[in-house]
Amino acid sequence: MNDKKAIDKKDREEIRDLAAEAGSLTEFAYRRLREDIIAGHFPSGAKLQIEDLKARYGLSASPVREALSRLISQGFVASESQRGFRVAPMSAEDLADITLARQVVESAALALAIRKGDDAWEGEVLSAFHKLDRHVLRLGGRPVQDLAAFSELHKAFHAALIAACGSPRLIEEQSRLYDQAERYRHGMMYSFLSDAEVDLMGEHRALMEAVLARDADAALRLLHHHLGHTYEFCFGKNAAENSGPLPSTGQKTKRPARS
């Protein structure tokens, strides 16, 4: 009994420390639950019980409910009248819509960033690419060995590309859409990177070079093509005919690099 109390006390102290770092218990609950949904620990359509989440994260009901409300507004959680909460479903239609939105939002932000960006922005783009590239090299081209770190660096690269756009709302929307697509990417990565022919960094490098050259036409064409890959891998190009207005990439690839 004493050992159990000691363990519980230690766990509570760790949660308090993490919550303090996050800023609040609600922020802590939000971050942890969002991370677990993106990573697939709660599968598509899974019921989210308040009591189970309280036990999982060592929190009271209030921050868990507030976290769920935030995740509903971001499209990660669905609320069912009188039936509680579920993880938002995943489908070809949903990913087609996410992809289309990313292509519109991220392309607009990138065009602005190329026009407005200064030397410091170029340095940040180059640095973000270098960190991602070195990480992939250290893992022998197989980032599934440390997928969490890869995902963080990959998101940072895409964020760096548009950081100079001058629109906080475009930046915020790009981040939100990126996270929604991450649920699909995370699930595909293990089988995707078993293919030895995959050039994971090739498209990222080409995109980075076009951006640094201030070649907006090339950069936007590469970005549009790049962002369509997750959909193509998960559902195939032909699935777009039955699931929504996913713009065609107009190019053929053996196995697409991660978008």
Percent helix, strand, coil in the chain (nearest 5)?
Answer: 70, 5, 25
Provide the pairing of β-strand 77-80 with 47-48: unpaired
Map out the domains of the chain as residue ranges.
2-87, 92-243
Task: Name residue, tokens 């697939």.
Answer: 40
User: Would you say 95 and 180 are in contact if contact means Cβ atoms under 8 Å apart?
Assistant: no
> Which top CATH class is 2-87?
mainly alpha
Q: Classify 35 in phi/psi space as left (phi over 0), alpha (psi -120 to 50) or beta.
A: alpha
> Which top CATH class is 92-243?
mainly alpha
Q: What is the residue-level pLDDT of the chain in tens, covering all 259 positions?
A: 344 444 455 555 555 555 555 458 889 999 899 989 988 889 889 999 999 999 999 998 999 999 999 999 888 999 987 778 999 999 999 999 999 999 999 999 999 999 999 999 999 999 999 999 999 888 876 666 777 888 899 999 999 999 999 999 999 999 999 988 888 887 666 555 555 445 778 999 999 999 999 999 999 999 999 998 888 877 775 544 443 444 433 333 333 445 5
DSSP string, 72-139: HHTTSEEEETTTEEEEPP--HHHHHHHHHHHHHHHHHHHHHHHHH--HHHHHHHHHHHHHHHHHHHHT
- Predicted confidence at residue 7, as pLDDT, reads 41
